[in-house]
Amino acid sequence: MSKLTDEQKAILLTALKESLAKSSAGMQVLGAVEIGDEICIVDFKTTTNNPRANVTPENPQYVFESSTKKQFSVSGLGIPTMRVMKAGKDASALGTDFMLSNVRNNPDLEFFKQALESLDEGKALDITAVRFKCITKLVQSDMGDTAKPALLPSCYKRYDDYLAEVRGANVDYNDARARLHQSGLKSEFATKSWVNPDDRRYFATTPVFTVAWNQ
C-alpha cells in the first residue's frame, strides 16, 4: 500500500494527468510485468541519480508495485500508452491474436488516458488505490513490417544510438524506433522466434490490464 499523504496523492494525480495529456507514443511500457500481476502506483519521482535515465519534472518516473512487492518504473512519456480493457471486459474480448497491431482498433481496448478521462469527475479518485491486473501481453510489431514481431530495443544493432535519441528533446519516438529496427538484429538474436517459448523474453511486449478504480 502507498504511504503517501492525501496531499502527496493529489500531487501525484495532477502529475499523472499532465503526463497523460502529452499523449506520447512509441514507448515500451511495463514489459517486465507478468500475466496475473496486479499492480498499483505507489510513488513518482522527478529526479534520479541514474545518468542513463531521463527523469525530470516534465517527464516524471512513476513507480508501480505488485501485490508481491515487485516494483516497476514507467516514464511519464510511457504512461499514456498503457493499454487497458474497458469496464466489464476481459482478455476474451481480444480473441486469440497475440499481435498488438491486429487489435489496435478493438472497441473494448483503450489507452489508460481514455479510461481516466471517462470517469465521473464528480467522484474523488485516490490514484494509489487503483489496481491494474495484467491479463495478457501482446507483441509489438516491427516498424517496417507490422506482421513481424519486434524484439526488445537492446537486440538491435543501433541500440546505443536509439537510447541517445530518445533521451533528447522533442523526440519522435516512432521515427527513432523505425531507425532502430532498420539497423537489423545483432547476430545473437537473429534466429529468435516468438513460436519458441524460451525466446519470448527477447520480444517487445505490451501488457494489457483490467482496471479496478476503487472509487
**Alpha carbons within 13 A on the beta-carbon side of 138:** 23
Cα dihedral 44, 150, 148, 186, rounded to 10, equals: 170
Q: What b/e readout covers 184-212, taking b as 16+ CB neighbours within 10 angstroms?
A: eeeeebeebebeeeeebebbbbbbbbbbe
Q: Phi, psi (5° rounding) for residue 170?
A: 50, 50
63 inside domain? yes
Poorest-confidence range of 17-21, 53-57, 67-71, 112-116? Answer: 53-57
Phi, psi of 164 (to 5 degrees): -60, -35
Within-domain flag for 191 = no
- Is residue 198 domain-resident? no
- Per the structure, the complete domain to which residue 42 belongs is given by 6-140+206-212
| pLDDT tens-digit series, residues 177-188 | 999 999 999 999
pLDDT tens per residue, range 27-84: 556 778 889 999 999 988 888 776 666 777 777 888 899 988 888 888 787 787 789 9
| Global confidence as pTM | 0.84
179 domain residue, yes or no? no
pLDDT at 48: 74
Which of 26, 20, 11, 27 lies closest to 114 in space, CA to CA?
A: 20
For the chain, how many structural domains are there in total?
1
pLDDT at 110 over 60: yes
In a domain, 195, yes or no: no
Q: What is the mean pLDDT of residues 103-113?
A: 90
- The whole-chain average pLDDT of the chain stands at 86
130 occurs within a structural domain:
yes
pLDDT at 152 over 70: yes
Say what the pLDDT of residue 107 is.
Answer: 94
The answer to whether residue 189 is domain-embedded is no
pLDDT of residue 174: 84
Q: What local confidence, expressed as pLDDT, does residue 52 receive? A: 62
| 150 within domain boundaries | no
